[in-house]
């Protein structure tokens, strides 16, 4: 935590009102809340702060982190991915994937929230892109919970970015691999569907055994920061900074954590996550 603070956080962060709290303490409280979704009473006893102040510190710290580094998970860092893309493809192939130009995986995100009183089905959908170094490259959402994955993909700009930037010098595309809900294109592949031949079934089995690593990325976020998986605290309309920002910041912190403690995905593919400074500058 101290290294993360020295690397990228300001010297001091002020809260709303007249009270000023050191940035290190604000970051510590935020990490505590993310990692231990306890009651505010326990937070007050541990930190010696009132419940209201704990909530304000948490929300006010999330805001500048998201404002400064939210683009790392909201937008594709194309310039950071392309220099490594051949290594990503080779790492996938070395683990048995038959898709030799597949550099990452696309998967839908469904986050559980506390059931709202009205419009319950209008919440909590999106998708995520994960690379073999264990970095969450893009999050998109939240959107209408009743929308199909293909419709959600069309609402984002993912395919447009892939079409524009992810071809090699000979015009051959690099592509992502998604679940059967997505339609095939030169930049997005999905498994065979319907009545399968033995070869097609073998292809699906080989790709799915590697694709499972995208679920590890989801698992790391909720394992390290259980707050975003504790649905009773995920209350739409009652979170000052917004549930989407909370999950985005948790994903950024997960990516940062992977530098200090190599994640299971990077170890599985024998790749090194980017250095913290490179990642924060959009170069990793």
Q: What is the pLDDT of residues 230-256, one digit of tens each?
A: 765 555 555 656 677 888 999 999 999
Higher pLDDT, 77 or 181: 77
Q: What is the pLDDT of residues 15-30, one digit of tens each?
A: 455 578 888 899 999 9
Residue 264 and residue 241: Cα distance in Å, rounded?
30
What average pLDDT score do residues 154-162 get? 78
Work out the mean pLDDT of the chain and round it to a whole number: 80
Number of neighbours of residue 266 by Cβ within 10 angstroms: 20
Q: What is the pLDDT of residues 206-230, one digit of tens each?
A: 888 888 887 888 889 989 998 887 7
Query: Cis omega before residue 183 (within 30°)?
Result: no
Contact 106, 99 (CB under 8 A): no
What is the C-alpha end-to-end distance of the chain, expressed in Å?
20
Query: With 50 as the cut, is the pLDDT of residue 88 above it?
Result: yes
Query: With 80 as the cut, is the pLDDT of residue 80 above it?
Result: yes
Residue for token pair 């892109």? 129
Residue 132 and residue 68: Cα distance in Å, rounded?
25
């Amino acid at each position: 935590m101290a290294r993360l603070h020295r690397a990228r956080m300001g010297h001091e962060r002020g809260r709303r009102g007249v009270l000023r709290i050191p940035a290190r303490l604000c970051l510590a409280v935020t990490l505590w809340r993310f990692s231990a979704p306890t009651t505010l009473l326990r937070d007050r006893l541990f930190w010696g702060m009132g419940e209201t102040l704990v909530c304000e510190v948490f929300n006010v710290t999330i805001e500048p982190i998201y404002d400064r580094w939210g683009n790392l998970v909201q937008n594709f860092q194309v310039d950071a991915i392309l220099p490594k893309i051949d290594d990503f493809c080779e790492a996938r192939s070395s683990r048995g994937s038959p898709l030799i130009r597949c550099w990452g995986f696309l998967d839908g995100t469904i986050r559980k929230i506390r059931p709202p009183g009205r419009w319950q089905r209008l919440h909590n959908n999106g998708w995520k892109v994960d690379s073999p170094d264990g970095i969450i490259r893009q999050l998109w959402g939240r959107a209408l919970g009743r929308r199909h994955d293909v419709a959600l993909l069309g609402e984002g700009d993912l395919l447009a970015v892939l079409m524009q930037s992810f071809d090699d010098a000979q015009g051959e595309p690099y592509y992502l691999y998604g679940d059967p809900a997505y339609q095939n294109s030169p930049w997005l592949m999905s498994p065979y569907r319907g009545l399968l031949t033995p070869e097609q079934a073998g292809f699906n089995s080989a790709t799915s055994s590697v694709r499972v690593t995208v679920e590890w990325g989801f698992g790391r976020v909720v394992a390290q920061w259980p707050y975003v998986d504790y649905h009773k605290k995920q209350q739409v309309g009652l979170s000052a900074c917004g549930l989407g920002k909370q999950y985005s910041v948790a994903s950024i912190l997960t990516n940062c954590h992977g530098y200090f403690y190599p994640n299971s995905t990077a170890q599985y593919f024998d790749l090194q996550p980017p250095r913290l400074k490179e990642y924060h500058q959009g170069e990793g």
